Amino acid sequence: MSDGIRVFAGDCTITAEGDRAHEQRGDVVVVVKPDDTVLVHDRDGYQPVAWLTRPETLAYDGTSTEEFSLTAIDGDSRLRVVANDRYGLARYPASAAGAPVGDCPDCAEALVRADGAVTCLDCEARYGLAAGADVLDDRCEACGLPTMRAERGRAFTLCVDRECESLDGAVKAAFDRAWDCPDCGGDLRVIREGGLLAGCDNYPDCETAFSFPTGIVDGECGCGLPKFSTPSGTRCLDATCERAG
């Protein structure tokens, strides 16, 4: 994977093999993205006339001042672009595009929210967001990064940098041992095991565990576990329980 977007303009012959087999020629712009996705655009519309997404291999030759060619292969699909006349070739910086959420305290460049994270467009600092979290206008007093609001039983306002403020730690402080295991009566502990869980303290003798939903505790379910108000409706901590409605 490269660290930028490569753009070529020229009179090209485009040959595709596989499900979309065809040959074309025209004045086009070829875009090679950082994940090696190849897009070939002509003058009309937004749809490329040829493309190959994240190919297994990409052979690229743009070293000559007059020539340009690339061959992308993914399984049985093959895309080859050869320049008959070269107009221009360049490489440009590339980043995720997202909603602006302020400036980076480390380098003063823009921070954006994209792909489930807050990312700096310059220094590439990246802070993964909790599922369903909202990024707020307020700043963390300790480090200057944006804060987020995440619902895990309560609404927690924390720094987007989990090393600065831990969502797991906040949930544990609020709900560790707050509920009893419905199978053995042991304490339900807040643990991280793939995801954030309320798991029985008597493990491995009791393997009961429930995934923490995105939502706010809103009373008690008929089964005795807490009931959550979530974006998709009311549910029990036990996602298989039918008594929370």
Please write the tens of the pLDDT for every residue from 228-241. Answer: 999 999 999 999 99
Average of per-residue pLDDT across 114-139:
91
* Residue 103 shares a structural domain with residue 74: no
Q: How confident is the model over 192-222, as pLDDT tens digits? A: 988 899 999 999 999 999 999 999 999 999 9
* Residue 111 shares a structural domain with residue 166: yes
Confidence of residue 64 (pLDDT cuts 50, 70, 90): low
Model confidence at 1: pLDDT above 60: no
Domain extent at residue 125:
99-171
3 state SS of 167? helix
Q: How far apart are CA 25 and CA 45, in angstroms?
A: 17
* Residue 8 shares a structural domain with residue 89: yes
77 lies in a domain? yes
* Residue 157 shares a structural domain with residue 185: no
Average of per-residue pLDDT across 10-29:
92
Q: How confident is the model over 141-159, as pLDDT tens digits? A: 999 999 999 999 999 999 9
* Residue 112 shares a structural domain with residue 50: no
Model confidence at 133: pLDDT above 50: yes
* Residue 67 shares a structural domain with residue 49: yes
The strand pair at 215-220 and 146-153 is best described as parallel
- Structurally, the chain folds into a number of domains equal to 3
* Residue 163 shares a structural domain with residue 177: no
Q: Taking the model in full, what pTM does it have?
A: 0.72
Percent of the chain whose predicted confidence (pLDDT) is above 70: 96
225 residue type, one letter: L
- Other Cβ atoms less than 10 A from the Cβ of 96: the count is 13
Q: Strands, E, within the chain: which ranges? A: 4-17, 22-32, 38-41, 50-52, 57-61, 69-74, 77-93, 99-103, 110-114, 117-120, 126-128, 134-139, 146-153, 155-159, 188-193, 195-200, 209-211, 215-220, 226-230, 233-236
- Which of 58, 93, 128 delimits the end of a domain? 93
Model confidence at 164: pLDDT above 60: yes
**Ranges 20-24, 69-73, 120-124, most confident:** 69-73
- Look at 2-16, 24-38, 156-170 and tell me which has the smallest mean pLDDT: 2-16
The chain-wide mean pLDDT, for the chain, equals 91
* Residue 68 shares a structural domain with residue 118: no
3 state SS of 52? strand
Confidence of residue 245 (pLDDT cuts 50, 70, 90): low
- The DSSP symbol for 30 reads E
CA diameter of the chain? 76
Residue 30 burial class via C-beta count within 10 angstroms: exposed 0-12, middle 13-18, buried 19 and up: buried
- The DSSP symbol for 186 reads P
CB-CB contact of 62 with 48 (8 Å): no
Q: How far apart are CA 196 and CA 193, in angstroms?
A: 6
Question: DSSP alpha helices (H): ranges in 67-223?
Answer: 167-175
Which pLDDT does position 244 carry in this prediction? 59
Which pLDDT does position 159 carry in this prediction? 96
- The DSSP symbol for 238 reads S
* Residue 85 shares a structural domain with residue 116: no
84 lies in a domain? yes
Average of per-residue pLDDT across 82-96:
90
244 lies in a domain? no
Model confidence at 63: pLDDT above 70: no
Which pLDDT does position 60 carry in this prediction? 83
* Residue 39 shares a structural domain with residue 75: yes
